[in-house]
Structure 1
Amino acid sequence: MRLIQFETAQGQRHVGVIEGDVIQVVRATENTRELALSAIRQGHSLADEVHARGCEPSPDSYRRTLQEGRVLPPLDHQDPAHCLISGTGLTHLGSASTRDKMHQQNAADQSAMTDSARIFQWGIEGGRPPAGTAGVQPEWFYKGDGSIVVRPGSAFQTPAFAEDAGEEPELTGLYVVGDDGKPYRVGFALGNEFSDHVMERRNYLYLAHSKLRNCSYGPELRVGDLPGHLTGMSRILRGEDVLWEKEFLSGEDNMCHSLENLEYHHFKYAQFLRPGDVHVHFFGTATLSVADNIQTRPGDRFEISMAEFGEPLINGLQAAAPELKAGKVNTL
């Protein structure tokens, strides 16, 4: 089952089940969060909750709704401060190669390894523990709250101080914290984590700065488990031309951490277990255009696709409005 959140031409919110180009509108349901919390309270699955409520076809096609920019992120919170965007890096086999070809380091010589290479090696050795046990913790980063999320089809804003505006094609896990204070995975979606890789590569301690950018995920939320091996395509279009494209791999078969281990090391922190909150967690990638010396510019479009997630995630790129100038913080 694949779900979307969308608006009608009159601005009313709905949740829909995607069946080809038809949107089956879930009755009496304005958002996925409320649908998920109801399923938790009833003690059954999200799919069971959808079936219990029933559906009816939308008069608008899915393709038209996408083209008109009325498809929303597939899970959000009405208060953006209660939606936490986070992620983990160095999680995919080969991902260290995008950080200055770290895979060429001699893994046996710990003294010759950078901190990033060392964490990647720890993941290979201990990131897939037996079920129900904790493995080594991954690199983790905070990206922002729900206010940074760009809906599918809309443009990322790149600030004037940015040194790069690069895509990151990733799987995202979408979660709701139940009334019982426990996290529940609602499903998965395609994501573009969008970061400043030039800034990050100046020094790994700049990673935190490089992640404070927009992001997007969707348009569809896939309910249920994922195949172990997933193949997608990441593209950058400039006008009608393909500037760059490359296949990317994901799924647990292509990762050095299990999804269970990544989820544990996020939700082990009590501050992430506030009932009703939404969490969007990016699981990482090993494929970046910046590794091929691609420089994006306003007007470019990013397209991330994977057959298992239906329609591609497409976002444009534009310059942001002027930001705070140095020395302009006011004193009270």
Structure 2
Amino acid sequence: MRLIQYRDQQQVRVALVESADSVRPLNIEGGTYALAQAAISAGESLKQAITARLGDALIDYQALIDEQRLLPPLTHPDPAHCLVTGTGLTHLGSADTRSAMHAKTQVAETELTDSMRMFKLGVEGGKPSDNTPGAQPEWFYKGDGDCIVAPEAEIPSPAFAEDAGEEPELAGLYIVAADGTPWRIGYAVGNEFSDHITERFNYLWLAHSKLRACSVGPELLIGELPDYLEGTSRIVRDGQILWEKPFLTGEANMAHSIANLEYHHFKYPGFRRPGDVHVHFFGTATLSFADGIQPREGDRFEITLGDFGRPLRNTLRMEQPHGSTKVNTL
């Protein structure tokens, strides 16, 4: 079961994906956020809430795309109450990469880089079997809801950026109930989008490199996540595929369990504020940057993940300099 959000005049609507060509709107105003709130209040599952509100009409899916009416699959009415975050060094990658990375963790502890030390912690303790907290992952902040651009929309890169590179990832989408309990609504394909040159210069600049736009969707997968997922990430330039590579995700391809990543995010009281929405990226192992690709304005990022329906597509736009950021004294 998958959902999308779209704009209907001034209203945010949510619809069930019936097929690759059509969606069925739900009889509720306020989109996925309102639907989740209603399910929590009624003590019912999200699937029950969807089934009870299915409308009769079908809408052409492609028309929503052509008319640029698609929205991210979960939004908050106030973007300041949507927190966008992520975790890195979580994925094992391909079998070859996995073997190579594992071999590197066998050297003396004093010879490990900080990145390899963090990766080793995840491999050894990221999937606890006794329901206790596992190893703490790397964590980063991207912004609030204003940094999420809709599927099919342009994804902006600031004028001061050194790089504008895609990161194909799985993202968890959450809402915090009135009693402070986080509820996972579902999962979506994401382009976490980062500045890899800034990060490469010095790892202490990782925080700077992540303060960029991102995109998720277009579809929200409801229910349990398949253990093994394989997708494709590509860059299209002037109508031709410039770069393309498969990527793996799902817990079978991760050093951490998703439950462990969720625990280490929501253990902080500030992330359990009632009514807030969270979009949390789970990491990747595939980057065009690693193959020497330098995206430029007009390039289109396309990320496909089999169980998630239509691909996530965004075209790169380079922003003009912002002007003065001088701080004045009151």
TM-score by length of 1: 0.95
Which runs of structure 2 are paired with 1:1-332 in the superposition (5 Å)? 1-8=1-8, 10-20=9-19, 21-58=21-58, 60-94=59-93, 105-325=104-324, 328-332=326-330
1:66 CA displacement: 1.4
Q: For residues 182-231 of structure 1, what are the alpha-carbon distances to aligned partners after superposition, in whole Å with 9 as ceiling and x for unaligned?
A: 00000000000000001001111000000000000000000001111000
Q: Is the 8 A contact 1:106 1:112 kept in 2?
A: no
CA contact 2:105–2:116 (8 Å) conserved in 1:
no
CA contact (8 A) 2:93 2:248 kept: no
What is the root-mean-square deviation in Å for CA atoms of aligned residues?
Answer: 1.6
What is the Cα deviation at residue 94 of structure 1? 3.5
| Deviation larger for 18-27 or 210-219 | 18-27
* C-alpha displacement of 1:180: 1.2
- What's the CA shift for 1:54? 2.8
Tell me which amino acid in the other structure corresponds to 1:147.
D
Whole-Å separation in 2 of the counterparts to 1:5 and 1:150: 13
- Residue 50 of structure 1 and its aligned partner are, at CA, apart by 1.1
Distance 2:107 2:124 in 1: 12
Whole-Å separation in 2 of the counterparts to 1:84 and 1:267: 12
The one-letter amino acid of 2:44's match is H
Q: 2-side partners of 1:82 and 1:53: how far apart? A: 26
Kept after mapping to 1: 8 A contact 2:105/2:120: no
Gaps of 5+ in 2: none
Name the amino acid aligned to 2:73.
P
Aligned equivalents of 1:87, 1:35: Cα separation in 2: 25
Secondary structure at 2:56's aligned position in 1? strand
For structure 1, list consecutive stretches of 5 or more residues without a partner in the other structure.
Answer: none
Name the SS for the 1:266 alignment partner. Answer: helix
Partner letter of residue 269 of structure 1? Y
User: Once the 2 structures are TM-superposed, how far is the Cα of residue 324 of structure 1 from its aligned partner?
Assistant: 4.2
* Cα separation, 1, equivalents of 2:206 and 2:103: 22
Aligned-partner residue type, residue 223 of structure 2 = G
Offset of residue 69 of structure 1: 1.2
Partners of 1:183 and 1:164 lie apart in 2 by: 34
Question: Residue type of the partner of 2:51?
Answer: H
Shift of 1:104: 6.1
Contact map agreement 2:160 2:321 (CA 8 A) in 1? no
Distance 1:107 1:185 in 2: 36
Aligned length: 326
**In structure 1, C-alpha distance between the alignment counterparts of 2:85 and 2:246, rounded to whole Å:** 24
- Answer yes or no: is the 8 Å Cα contact 2:302–2:312 preserved in 1: yes
The CA distance in 1 between the partners of 2:71 and 2:105, in whole Å, is: 45
Q: Distance in 2 between matches of 1:142 and 1:154?
A: 22
